[in-house]
Amino acid sequence: MKKLFILLWLAAGMCILAGAAETPAPDRAPAPAPLKYIFYFIGDGMGFEHLTMTRDTGKAVAATAALDALPWRGTARTNNVEGTTTDSAAAGTALACGFKTRNGRIAMLPDGTHVDSIAKLAKFQGRAVAIITSDALNGATPSAFYAHSDSRKKYDEIARWLPVCTFDYLAGSRFNAGDETRAEVEQALRDVDYTLVTTREELQQLGREALPVVATHKWENYAADISNPAEFPRLADYTGKAIELLADNPAGFLIVVEGARIDWGSHANDAVATIGEVREFNAAVTKALDFFYAHPTETLIVVTADHNTGAPQLDGPISPDLLKDRRTHQFYAKALQASPTAEEDIRRLLDELRQEVGEEAEKKALEQLIASGKKELPSAARITAFQQARRDREFGIHWTTRGHAPAPVPVMAIGPGAETFAGTYENTEIPQKISRLMGIISPEH
Ligand SMILES: [Zn+2]
């Protein structure tokens, strides 16, 4: 069955190439020999402005220094198969498998056909494969690389694909499933020889003999959160360890890294959380870039995003002073809910906000909050998000939606063949370009 999917995938790739026969695309130029080491970074929700607003928050060097060092630039369109704004499942499928599909689908076409990801094809080539995320391992984006489902919300079903994916290194926050399913999946992973670790210390001690590895952690915090313990595992830790464990594989590797919480911070319209996550993402790219400088003729790094979340507009350079407030909306919400005077605090905040919120959309949302009164205690997160919006406005950041936006996203690349990522194209072309450089689709086609 798997072969069928590969053939289908190859056939689709060739059809696309055949369609381009009259106007040769730059990526039809002879490709170099298949590259050994491939990094594929996906910033979830990361639009151009997310990079801009993060850049100036660095001190001696830009906070996006590694991303800025990638010389080849392109732009990818992200809409789903219906031509509407994508979610992370349809975009994940596009970026992992090279096919547009409907929102909610994980590596599955609208008619139910399974499509294979470049990670699966890389594995068939003998490469070592790592999937790393700051989300749960069965979140929509990472799932598109190893699972198939008609709904991203079928977390248990998706998690059950993990033990059969045969990938070498899986890292992220604890997978999202009921206790019973989690125990069942963990046992199934052990049964096929995965080493499971749950702390940063355990991860650091692992050697190659531990492979295959599943590294998870229990925190759902933002990287910027002031309350994070020292052992909070960073995306760069997971990425660095993957490089260390997989670099000796004779057929090379494909390392996929998702900066998932850029999207979360942007949904909450919280610039502190968002910028912290872009910085975290940049730190992970730094690890790849260090490896690139040691292996420049054999390594490709591609960075992109699945969609734009929050569509922020910026008045100008963002002062690093913004990050002095390391209290994200998540932190405030937890503190507010834990407070013995929670109800009083929320009413006071609502009063303050009612007086100063001027924008129509926010007014409406605020009225709904006020109307629901005390019942709204659990949605303290929403109230604190309004506080964040107030702070962000003071720093010249204006979020224009709490959802995803259809704006195209950046593509950045370095390495042999990286010039093929210049231009503007559909996001489905990104895995097709990568697969050509990996030698999966022959450059002669
Ligand atoms: Zn989102």
pLDDT tens digit sequence for 103-145: 999 999 999 999 999 999 999 999 999 999 999 999 999 999 9
Ligand 1 centroid – CA 188 distance (Å): 30
CA of 101 to the centre of ligand 1 (A): 17
Ligand 1 centroid from CA 309, angstroms = 6
CA of 209 to the centre of ligand 1 (A): 37
- For residue 123, how far is its CA from the centre of ligand 1 (angstroms)? 29
pLDDT (0 to 100) of residue 366: 57
Give me the pLDDT at residue 59, please.
Answer: 81
Q: Is the pLDDT of residue 23 over 60?
A: no
136 CA from centroid of ligand 1 (Å):
14
Q: Are strands 423-426 and 128-136 parallel, antiparallel or unpaired?
A: unpaired
What whole-number distance in Å separates Cα of residue 373 and Cα of residue 1?
55
Mean pLDDT of the chain: 85
pLDDT digits (tens, 9 = 90+) for 398-443: 988 889 999 999 999 999 999 999 999 999 999 999 999 999 865 4
The alpha carbon of 96 and the centre of ligand 1 are apart by a number of angstroms equal to 17
How many angstroms does the Cα of residue 164 sit away from the middle of ligand 1?
A: 27
57 alpha carbon to ligand 1 midpoint, in Å? 24
More confident residue, 381 or 213: 213
Q: State the CB neighbour count (10 A cutoff) for residue 378.
A: 9
Of 16-20, 141-145, 171-175, 245-249, minimum mean pLDDT range = 16-20
Residue 443 near residue 100 (C-beta atoms within 8 A): no
Half-sphere exposure of 176 (CA within 13 A, CB side): 16
Beta bridge mates, 258? 42, 133
Q: How many CA atoms lie within 13 A of 405 on its CB side?
A: 21
Q: What is the CATH number of domain 2-314+405-437?
A: 3.40.720.10
Distance between Cα 87 and ligand 1 center (Å) = 6
Instruction: Please give the backbone phi and psi of residue 318, each rounded to the nearest 5 degrees, phi first.
Output: -95, 125
Summarize the confidence of residues 224-252 as an average pLDDT: 92
Instruction: With beta carbons less than 8 A apart as the criterion, state whether 435 and 329 touch.
Output: no
Give me 321's structure tokens. 């002073």
Mean per-residue pLDDT, 317-329: 84
- Average of pLDDT values for 281-305? 98
Measure 399 CA to ligand 1 centroid, in angstroms: 14
Which residues, listed in sequence order, are joined to residue 404 by a DSSP beta bridge?
Answer: 309
Report field, pTM of the whole predicted structure over 0.85: yes
CA-CA distance, 2 to 5, in Å (whole number)? 5
Question: Residue for token digits 């494969």?
Answer: 129
Q: What is the pLDDT of residues 339-368, one digit of tens each?
A: 666 566 666 666 666 665 555 555 565 555
Helix (H, G, I), strand (E, B) or coil at 364: helix
Tokens of 387: 């506080």
Locate the domains of the chain by residue range.
2-314+405-437, 328-394
- No. of H helices and E strands in the chain? 17, 14
Which among 434, 426, 410, 403 is positioned nearest to 81, based on CA atoms? 426
Cα(379) to ligand 1 centroid in Å equals 18
Q: What is the pLDDT of residue 33?
A: 76
What is the whole-number distance in angstroms between the Cα of residue 383 and the centre of ligand 1?
A: 19
Q: Using pLDDT thresholds of 50, 70 and 90, give the confidence band for residue 61.
A: confident
Cβ 101 vs Cβ 80: under 8 Å: yes
- Averaged over 46-65, what is the pLDDT? 92
Q: 294: CA distance to ligand 1 center in Å?
A: 35
Q: Helical H runs in 247-359? A: 261-267, 271-294, 329-338, 342-356
Dist CA 72 CA 74 (whole Å): 7
d(CA 373, ligand 1 centre) in Å: 27
Percent of the chain with pLDDT over 70: 79
| Cβ neighbours around 374 below 10 Å, total | 9
**Distance in Å, CA 151 to ligand 1 centroid:** 15
- Residue 371 Cα to ligand 1 midpoint, Å, equals 27
Say if residue 152's pLDDT is above 90: yes
- Residue 260 CA to ligand 1 center (angstroms) comes to 9
Write down the pLDDT at residue 2. Answer: 43
Q: What is the mean pLDDT of residues 201-206?
A: 95
242: Cα within 13 Å, side-chain hemisphere: 34
Contacts of residue 100, Cβ cutoff 8 Å, sequence gap at least 6: 79, 80, 81, 90, 93, 94, 426, 428
Tokens of residue 276, six digits: 């912290």
d(CA 313, CA 319): 15
Residues paired with residue 259 on neighbouring β-strands, in sequence order: 43
303 Cα to the center of ligand 1, angstroms: 18
Enumerate residues with CB within 5 Å of ligand 1 (an ion): 263, 309
Ligand 1 center from residue 78 Cα (angstroms): 13
Q: State yes or no: pLDDT of 445 exceeds 70.
A: no
CA 45 to centroid of ligand 1, rounded, Å: 6
Instruction: Determine the Cα–Cα distance for residues 433 and 421; give it in Å rounded to an integer.
Output: 8
For ligand 1, the distance from its centroid to the CA atom of residue 259, given in whole angstroms, is: 12
Mean pLDDT in residue range 58-77: 94
Q: Within 10 Å of residue 323's Cβ, how many Cβ atoms? A: 19
pLDDT tens digit sequence for 376-408: 443 555 556 666 777 888 899 998 888 999 999
Q: Which has more pLDDT, 387 or 67?
A: 67
pLDDT higher than threshold 80 for residue 211: yes
Q: How far is the CA of 307 from the centre of ligand 1 (A)?
A: 8
Distance from Cα 198 to the centre of ligand 1, integer Å = 26
